[in-house]
Amino acid sequence: MSSPHDSSDQTASGKVPSVDSVFDVDNGDPYETQRTVDRYLSQDTRHNILQLIIGHPWHLVSVTECEYYISKSRSTISEQLENLAEHEILTQYHHEPNANSRDLPANFWGLTAFGIDLLSEYKYLRGLPVMRAAHDATHKPETVQRHEKAPRPSLPDAVKSALHYDELDPDESVLEDESAISTLREDSLYADAVPAAPDSLNENADGDRTLGELF
């Protein structure tokens, strides 16, 4: 398991690795590099984890949040979180003040500086406002709301600035515009659709949710 970063030391980072070294590809063949990285990022569970983190209000998610949004077992999600950490795309951030609370998570998964560079290069970050809108429109049970609102450590400045965007005023929300909703449903990088009636989602859920159903 990767070592959690405490809020006190997570801004202290070493040299950002290269794509070639992380994915063990020949830097003389850019097409093979692109195919390798595309194949890796498009794996279903990894792709959904990354989209969830990008669209999350704090870009730091607990495993419980991942388990709610992604219709895979907790062990499968944890395995892919570790795999993303082994590829230096994600790391685990630790918030010690939550450690002694039964109701609040202390460990969160978020992007590294290398992960930001990689996802930027492969166009994952361009849909951040749409993914955020989809996330905000999703029905969340009390446990997930509590995890989302839990205190978290600060992301490194390079990661935080790359994920910043100017949010719309409430009166200008894309979800209040029917044409924008239609575009979101058709073009979202995050999921297939926003819910027509978010409160009806996951009623009597049987654990077979998908991101397409949730958003």
What does the pLDDT look like over 12-30, one tens digit per residue? 446 789 999 999 988 778 8
Q: What is the CA radius of gyration of the chain?
A: 17
Q: How far apart are CA 83 and CA 93, in angstroms?
A: 16
SS3 content of the chain, % helix, strand, coil (to 5): 50, 5, 45
Q: Three-state SS for 129?
A: helix
Please give the helix or strand (H or E) that residue 28 lies within, else none. none
pLDDT of 196 over the 60 cut: no
Cα 54 to the center of its chain, rounded Å: 4
- pLDDT tens across 156-177, in order? 999 999 999 876 554 444 445 5
Mean pLDDT estimate for the chain: 80
DSSP state of 187: H
Give, in order, the Cα–Cα distances in Å from 130 to each of 1, 18, 27, 52, 90. 32, 29, 33, 12, 22
CATH number of the 16-214 domain:
1.10.10.10
Q: Which runs of E-coded beta strand occur in the chain?
A: 5-6, 90-94, 107-111
Domain boundaries, the chain: 16-214
Report pLDDT digits (tens) over 33-81.
999 999 999 999 999 999 999 999 999 999 999 999 999 999 999 999 9
